[in-house]
């Protein structure tokens, strides 16, 4: 299969329309079989549930070309499972996770020409999503839905690749206790847009959200979980019911323990103790692990000892091991890497 003529090494994190997408419709209580189509446009009622009451959820995943030329994806069953949980919380029908994985694999295969080559620094980002499509005017769930999967080749999420980021402690809240922070709903991202535009205007790369109830504990950023390293080399990630259960973060905790022999714990992390950590990173599908060099808390600077020029040593080992597993140069735990082709 001939690859598309794309300058892979210089891709940013943006949308490039690829040739094929998967579409399945839910009507009268059942999903149809779904099709692969070239039509990238969605035509829905002006009163569709998604347009009026933001009934939409999504996932984010990647496909990789391995060192030996296979195309693979990473733990798609966990994305399928998380999408089932997101659907249940927003009163949407579940798109079963086995069908989800099948649809993702079909869409990657159809867009094989857009899967960036091994070593290019780019990957194929996969965006499964679902939305309420029929007219809804009283506040209630839609009765018809569309599930779609598209792909787009991407480079690094943060400009500058692995250069450490400067972030700020944010005065806006991302998620309420008992709210929707733990699911991947579009509404969580809509409410973060003002905060991220404001952060960028003030010269910061991202926001550190705190827990909304006490504003003393670290939650996550707009699109990634936190991972900290203590001065004695222990990995610590924040535990909270209102953050997204990142598949990257869960994988990194296992990598830390089983591949690197490190202690790793998921626990509440207080903002007060962040100054004592040696390293900090943002982890997620898009972010992979992006190192944080500085956290600014209302004028007070917390400078991580790992500095502003490169990743800290433990973050680097985690990064190299995870990407090695994804690209097929390091043996993966059973079931983590799923072959597409
Ligand atoms: N947190 C938020 C708010 C996200 O949007 C994402 C991205 O999916 C993550 C964390 C990371 O999750 P994952 O590692 O499953 O991509
Ligand atoms: C991802 O990492 O897949 C995300 O969804 C984060 C962001 C692009 C919303």
pLDDT tens profile 273-313 = 999 999 999 999 999 999 999 999 999 999 999 999 999 99
Q: What is residue 104's predicted lDDT score, i.e. its pLDDT?
A: 98
Ligand 2 touching residue 291 (CB < 6 A): no
For the CA of 249, the closest atom of ligand 1 is 14
What are 71-94's pLDDT values in tens digits? 999 999 999 999 999 999 999 999
CA of 28 to the centre of ligand 2 (A): 32
Q: Pick out the chain residues at pLDDT < 70.
A: none
Compute, in angstroms, the gap from residue 245 CA to the centroid of ligand 1: 7
Separation between Cα atoms, residue 206 and residue 284, nearest integer Å? 14
Note the pLDDT of residue 319: 97
Pairing of strands 206-208, 165-169: parallel
Query: What pLDDT sits at residue 162?
Result: 79
Q: Domains in the chain, ordered, with CATH?
A: 8-154 (3.30.470.10), 165-322 (3.20.10.10)
How far is residue 106 CA from its own chain's centroid?
21
Nearest to 304 by CA among 210, 230, 241: 230
pLDDT of residue 160: 73
Annotation says 3 is catalytic? no
- pLDDT at position 20, please? 98
- Ligand 1, atom 2, lies closest to the CA of 223
User: From ligand 2's centre to the CA of 208, what distance in Å?
Assistant: 16
Tell me how far apart the alpha carbons of residues 76 and 59 are, in angstroms, rounded to a whole number. 10
- Of 18, 44, 176, the C-alpha closest to 112 is 18
238, 219 contact by CB (below 8 A): yes
The C-alpha angle 223, 198, 121, rounded to 5 degrees, equals: 40
- CB neighbours (10 Å) of residue 77? 15
């Amino acid at each position: 299969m001939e690859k598309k003529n794309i300058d892979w090494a210089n891709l940013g994190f943006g949308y490039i329309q690829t040739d094929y997408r998967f579409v399945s419709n839910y009507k009268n209580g059942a999903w149809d079989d779904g099709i692969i189509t070239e039509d990238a446009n969605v035509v829905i009622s002006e009163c569709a549930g998604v347009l009026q009451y933001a009934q939409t959820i999504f996932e984010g995943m990647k496909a990789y070309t391995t060192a030996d030329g296979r195309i693979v994806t990473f733990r798609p069953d966990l994305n399928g499972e998380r999408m089932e949980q997101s659907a249940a919380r927003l009163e949407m029908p579940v798109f079963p996770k086995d069908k989800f994985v099948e649809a993702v694999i079909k869409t990657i295969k159809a867009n094989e020409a857009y899967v960036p080559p091994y070593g290019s620094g780019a990957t194929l980002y996969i965006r499964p999503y679902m939305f309420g499509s029929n007219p809804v005017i009283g506040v209630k769930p839609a009765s018809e839905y569309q599930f779609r999967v598209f792909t787009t080749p991407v480079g690094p999420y943060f400009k500058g690749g692995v250069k450490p980021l400067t972030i700020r402690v944010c005065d806006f809240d991302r998620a309420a206790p008992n709210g929707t922070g733990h699911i991947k709903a579009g509404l969580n991202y809509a409410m973060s847009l003002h905060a991220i535009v404001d952060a960028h205007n003030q010269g910061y790369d991202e926001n550190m959200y705190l827990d909304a109830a006490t504003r003393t504990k670290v939650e996550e950023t707009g699109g990634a979980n936190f991972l900290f390293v203590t001065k004695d080399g222990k990995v610590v990630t924040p535990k909270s019911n209102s953050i997204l259960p990142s598949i990257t973060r869960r994988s990194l905790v296992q990598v830390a323990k089983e591949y690197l022999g490190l202690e790793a714990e998921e626990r509440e992390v207080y903002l007060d103790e962040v100054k004592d950590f040696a390293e900090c990173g943002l982890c997620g599908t898009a972010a992979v692990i992006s190192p944080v060099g500085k956290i600014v808390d209302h004028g007070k600077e917390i400078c991580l000892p790992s500095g502003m020029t490169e990743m800290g040593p433990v973050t680097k080992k985690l990064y190299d091991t995870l990407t090695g597993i994804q690209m097929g140069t390091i043996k993966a735990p059973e079931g983590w890497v799923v072959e597409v082709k």
